[in-house]
């Protein structure tokens, strides 16, 4: 099923790709603070990917054209933001869904991702666990250290975000021979050009980058 869907996707969807670098220093600081609070209260830790899912969901709420599907006759724009999350297992690739991710708190998203990933590894996902998604996030950076990649769209969706690893870089500072360090994460948005043109895709990435680089805005 996965093989045939990916083949149809690549053969019939006019893919194009947009990549940006996002500074994740503030995101990592916020994650550290939240995890300290969660550990003190007996809660489970939040991952960078949980924050990425939340940022993607809020960006879809801000740029709803990217939360859409091509139907041959018209473009269907969804009211709900349901994020599929790619999970690799010994039995292959699964993409369970986090429903209404834009309306859920980070701890709820984190808990659901862990539960669904466990079900995927146990091969016990039900159709309702992976159907009805409107956008997909695929992260090969955190688990595998992949710097950057281009993901194949999960039909009938119109976009998928490929998340690379965070790496420290030297960046110029204010004066000559002055520099500082910052951590950057590359993300690539694959778009269906029938639904999302270049300017809209760029607008979505700008919104996503804004949430990643100013993560406290996700908590408002």
Look at residues 142, 146, 85, 139 and name the one whose alpha carbon lies nearest to residue 117.
Answer: 85
Residues 72 and 212: their CA atoms lie apart, in Å, by: 34
Alpha helices in the chain (DSSP H): 2-12, 25-40, 48-62, 106-121, 127-130, 141-144, 198-213
* Distance between CA atoms of residues 211 and 88, nearest Å: 26
Task: Concatenate the DSSP letters of all residues of 119-148 into one string.
Answer: HHHTT---HHHHSS-SEEEEE-HHHH----
Q: Is 68 helix (H, G, I), strand (E, B) or coil?
A: strand
Strand partners, 88: 93
**Is position 193 annotated as part of the catalytic site?**
yes
The two tokens of residue 219 are: 């908590």
Which position has the token pair 């993901």?
Answer: 151
15 is catalytic: no
CB 190, CB 60: distance < 8 Å: no
Catalytic residue among 15, 25, 129, 193: 193
Residues in the chain: 220
Which residues are catalytic, by number?
193, 197
């Amino acid at each position: 099923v996965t093989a045939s869907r990916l083949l149809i996707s690549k053969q019939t969807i006019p893919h194009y790709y947009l990549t940006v670098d996002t500074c994740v220093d503030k995101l990592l600081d916020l994650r550290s603070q939240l995890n300290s609070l969660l550990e003190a209260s007996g809660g489970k830790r939040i991952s960078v990917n949980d924050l990425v899912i939340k940022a993607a969901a809020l960006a879809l709420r801000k740029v709803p054209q990217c939360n859409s599907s091509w139907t041959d006759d018209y473009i269907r724009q969804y009211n709900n933001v349901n994020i599929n999350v790619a999970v690799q297992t010994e039995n292959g690739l699964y993409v369970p869904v986090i429903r209404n991710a834009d309306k859920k708190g980070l701890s709820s998203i984190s808990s659901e991702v862990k539960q669904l990933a466990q079900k995927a590894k146990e091969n016990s996902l039900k159709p309702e666990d992976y159907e009805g998604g409107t956008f997909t996030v695929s992260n090969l950076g955190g688990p595998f250290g992949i710097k950057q990649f281009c993901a194949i769209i999960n039909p009938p969706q119109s976009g998928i975000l490929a998340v690379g690893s965070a790496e420290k870089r030297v960046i110029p500072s204010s004066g000559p021979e002055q520099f500082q360090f910052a951590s950057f994460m590359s993300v690539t948005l694959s778009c269906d050009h029938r639904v999302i043109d270049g300017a809209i895709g760029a607008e979505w990435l700008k919104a996503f980058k804004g949430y990643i680089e100013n993560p406290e805005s996700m908590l408002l």
